């Protein structure tokens, strides 16, 4: 089950974020982190005259200047740490977030947070890929933390 209907991809920003994280790009494929044997959410591939961004949300061809002009997501430096912390210490909350979005999958199985950006985060499991939007932009790790706590409190009150 995919719950990604309201994720509005910004291909140039995703591409720029992957490039900034990679540092000096040698032209090889760049991918978002994955959990276990899950495919990456996004894969950036260099082509002759362009760059292709491929993933669960579709494929996009980008000109090099589009990526050069884009700004990376402001969480690019801290996103891996946020995801690692959430996976290590708070993965028990993922099913609550998913159920609040309408997921009715099995209570068995584990989930991971492979990607977070200022607009929300993805949760990934064996039978589910979900985009969970934040109610407002969260450009800093502290804003992400506060927002996740607030969202979880609201879910638990419902």
Break the chain into its structural domains and give their ranges: 8-69, 79-157
Cα–Cα distances (Å) from 68 to 23, 43, 71, 133, 140, in that order, read 14, 17, 8, 26, 23
Over the stretch 105-130, which tens digit does the pLDDT of each residue have? Answer: 776 778 999 989 999 999 988 777 88
Q: Is 128 within 8 Å of 103 (Cβ atoms)?
A: yes
80 CB-near residues (< 8 Å, 6+ apart): 33
DSSP state at residue 70: S
Tell me the C-alpha distance between 31 and 75, whole Å: 17
Q: Is 50 within 8 Å of 63 (Cβ atoms)?
A: yes
pTM of the model: 0.83
69 burial via Cβ count (<10 Å: 0-12, 13-18, 19+):
exposed
7 CB-near residues (< 8 Å, 6+ apart): 57, 120, 131, 133
Over the stretch 24-59, which tens digit does the pLDDT of each residue have? Answer: 888 899 988 766 667 788 899 999 889 999 987 778
Over the stretch 73-102, which tens digit does the pLDDT of each residue have? Answer: 999 899 999 999 999 999 999 999 999 988
What's 79-157's CATH class? alpha beta
């Amino acid at each position: 089950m995919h719950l990604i209907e309201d994720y509005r991809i910004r291909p140039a920003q995703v591409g720029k974020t992957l490039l900034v994280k990679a540092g000096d790009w040698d032209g090889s494929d760049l991918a978002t982190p994955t959990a276990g044997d899950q495919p990456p959410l996004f894969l950036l591939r260099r082509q002759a005259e362009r760059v292709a961004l491929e993933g669960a949300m579709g494929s996009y061809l980008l000109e090099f200047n589009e990526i050069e002009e884009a700004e990376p997501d402001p969480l690019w430096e801290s996103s891996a740490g946020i995801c690692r912390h959430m996976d290590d210490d708070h993965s028990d909350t993922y099913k609550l977030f998913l159920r609040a979005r309408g997921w009715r999958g099995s209570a068995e199985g584990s989930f991971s947070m492979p990607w977070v950006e200022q607009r929300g985060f993805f949760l990934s499991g064996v039978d589910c890929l979900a985009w969970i939007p934040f109610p407002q932009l969260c450009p800093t790790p502290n804003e992400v933390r506060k927002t996740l706590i607030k969202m979880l409190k609201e879910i638990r009150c419902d």
